[in-house]
Structure formats: C-alpha cells, structure tokens
A and B are shown apart, each in its own frame.
Chain A
C-alpha cells in the first residue's frame, strides 16, 4: 500500500465519491444512482456467486425497499491506484430495520467492500465488488422516536423521492 502521490489526488477523491455514492443509492433505494457506480459489465459477489452488478442492483432495490430503513455507514477507505485501475477496501457498518411476525427487528452487519475500479476517460466506476462479512448483531428494534428529546427529531430519512435529499424539506 503506497503513500498518496500528488498526481493521484483527483483520482482518489473521485473514487471516494463513487464509494460514497453507492451507499446513497442503496439507502435511498435510488436505482439510477446505484447503476451509476458500476461499469456495464461490472461483477458483484455478495456471497451468492458472481453476478452482473447492474442486474444485482435491479434485484436489491426492491429487497431494500421492503425493509423499514437502512443506513450503510462507510468508514476506513484504503485505495491503491495504478494508472487507470484501482484496488480498494472500504469498511461498512450497515444498519437495517425490518418487519417480522415478532415486530420490527434490527440487523446490523459489519463488513468490508473489496473493490476493483477502473477509469474510463475521466470517470471512475466499480468493475468488481466482493463483500466480506466481519460481524453481525440482531435483535428486536429498540428504535425510539417519541418523548421530549427524540420526539423533536421529526425529519426522518426516507427513500427516493420522499427523502429530504430530493424534496429539500
């Protein structure tokens, strides 16, 4: 893993944007945003085999929309750039709230994205993503959105197009 070279600065920032934009696409269930992070022939492997990432995106958005809400919180990013290709590892703490017969459940997953990216022209996108599972936490939801403190926090995240990101509310 090399140190940051001056000529890589714009590339690194562009790659970080792609990685962050993926989380936006996923959490807002915004298929157009999600599609925009992959090259057309990109491959994704989330544990059930390598599949075309565009097709994977088409399937995952309805599955995410069926959940109450999600947040993919990205942290550490290690990025190696060599010319027009890059290798990256990104930490993610993914929070999901889902309905179940026993009431809403929280599922939290700590993992990492192992990515290969490619630059075509001036644009970086993902060419291959492998998801690594590190830890998980599961249990009944303890979400609390009422009371003197939490009750005042009324602007809740939603999916495209109701989220404040789109409405500006």
Chain B
C-alpha cells in the first residue's frame, strides 16, 4: 500500500479488498469453481463450517462434494463489517444462502442464513482469508416452487455451475 495515502482512504481500500474476498468466495461456491474458492484463501488458511473443520485446502474438495448433491445455490451477502488492524482484519458478513436440493418427492428449496466470521491477512501486499468461521442463525425449507422450464426458455440466461455460467464470458470479455 502506498505510504502517502490518506489513512482514511487506506482503511477504505482495505475494507473493500476484504469485502471483495467475501463476494468472490460466494461466487466460487455458487459456480462450484474450486480454483475461485482456493484463490481467496492463504495457503495455510483454515475453515470451520461446523460440520467441516480443517484446512481451507481440504475444505475445497469437501464443499465441492456437498455442492454436487445440490441442484443450484445462491449465497447472497448483505451487511459486511470489517475491522482492520494493520495487516490483519476481522470480518462479519451476513449471508442468506439459497439451495435447491433434489429429492425423491421433488426438489426442496432450503434457505440457510447466518454470518461468516472471517479473519483476513495481508501478505506481500495482498489480502486473503486466513480463517473462515460459518455461524448459522436461521433456516427455512419448503418444497421447491420454482416453475422455470429451463430447457424450453430460449433467450433467458440461467445460472449454471462451472464455466457454462454466463458470468465467465462476461468477465473475460469473450
């Protein structure tokens, strides 16, 4: 970080960088993109999702397997509070996570909401997540009422997993 920055501007930039990591992680999860997920963590980062506790490196294949059992997800991030102290920061990010889960009697639409308590660290000028702690606040579930016939709605863009999602060509300008 340039030393001549107004400290208020520097703080704003640090908070923005941390918030961006939270948003990028949500994108990585929703697109089931292991590379995107890995890229937001430091190599020695850890993760505590309750049902998973361990390294972030091992979290990636674990979460990809969990996601494979779902049809689609959207992790919407709301309130984000970041407290910066030098090269470390603590974050609290509210999330509402939407999941379509296939079942024998049809899909279930499960919504889980909570907060990501993140620790961020700046190393070599770059902020990344060093620890993610997921806290669950509420959930609600009901049979899916999604009515879109995705195969027969040409023209409409639907979310997808992996590079089939329109966001990839969007960001690369392809």
A interface, CB within 8 angstroms of B: 1, 3-4, 6, 9, 12, 45, 47-49, 73, 75-78, 80, 87, 89, 91, 93, 110-112, 114, 130-139
Assuming the contacts A130-B166, A135-B98, asked whether A1 and B171 have C-beta atoms less than 8 A apart, the reply is: yes
Name B's A-contacting residues (CB within 8 A).
Answer: 1-2, 5, 9, 12-13, 16-17, 20, 22-24, 26-27, 30, 72, 74-78, 96, 98, 100, 109, 126-127, 144-148, 153, 155-159, 165-167, 170-171, 173
Inter-subunit contact B74/A47 (CB<8 Å): no
Nearest-CB distance from B100 to chain A (Å)? 6
Whether A89 contacts B171 by the Cβ 8 Å rule is: yes
Q: Which of A4, A110, A138 contacts B13 (CB 8 A)?
A: A4
Query: In the complex the two chains form, what is the Cα distance from A75 to B97 in whole Å?
Result: 12
CB distance from A161 to the nearest CB of B (A): 28
A-B contact pairs, 26 of them (CB 8 A): A4-B20, A6-B5, A6-B9, A9-B13, A75-B77, A76-B76, A76-B77, A78-B23, A78-B27, A80-B171, A89-B27, A91-B26, A91-B77, A93-B76, A114-B157, A132-B157, A132-B167, A133-B159, A134-B30, A134-B74, A134-B98, A135-B72, A135-B74, A135-B98, A136-B146, A138-B147
Are B145 and A136 in contact, CB atoms less than 8 angstroms apart? yes
- Which residues on A sit within 8 Å (CB–CB) of B171? 1, 78, 80, 87, 89
| B residues less than 8 Å from A78 (CB atoms) | 20, 23-24, 27, 171
User: How far apart sit A133 and B77, CA to CA, in the bound complex (Å)?
Assistant: 17
A-B contact count (CB 8 A): 112
Measured between beta carbons, the chain B residues less than 8 angstroms from A3 are 17, 20, 126-127
The docked-state distance in angstroms from the alpha carbon of A169 to that of B30 is: 40
A159 to chain B, nearest CB (A): 24
Taking a contact as CB atoms under 8 Å apart, the answer to whether A48 and B155 are in contact is yes
Whether A131 contacts B157 by the Cβ 8 Å rule is: yes
Q: Please give, as numbers and ranges, the residues of chain B lying within 8 Å of A138 by CB-CB distance.
A: 145-147
Q: Which of A45, A112, A131 has the most CB of B within 10 A?
A: A112
Alpha-carbon separation in the docked complex, A137 to B109 (Å): 8
Q: Which of A6, A87, A89, A110 contacts B74 (CB 8 A)?
A: A110
Question: Do residues A112 and B17 form an inter-chain contact, with CB atoms below 8 A?
Answer: no
Q: Which of A1, A131, A135, A136 has the most CB of B within 10 A?
A: A135
What is the CA–CA distance of A143 and B29 in the complex, to the nearest angstrom?
A: 32
Chain A residues, CB < 8 A from B147: 136, 138
Inter-subunit contact B100/A135 (CB<8 Å): yes
Chain A minimum-CB-distance residue to B99: A135
Q: B76 and A114: CB pair below 8 A? A: no
Q: Using Cβ atoms and an 8 Å threshold, which residues of chain A touch B9?
A: 6, 9
> Is the Cβ of A139 less than 8 Å from the Cβ of B145?
yes
Taking a contact as CB atoms under 8 Å apart, the answer to whether A133 and B27 are in contact is no
A77 to chain B, nearest CB (A): 6
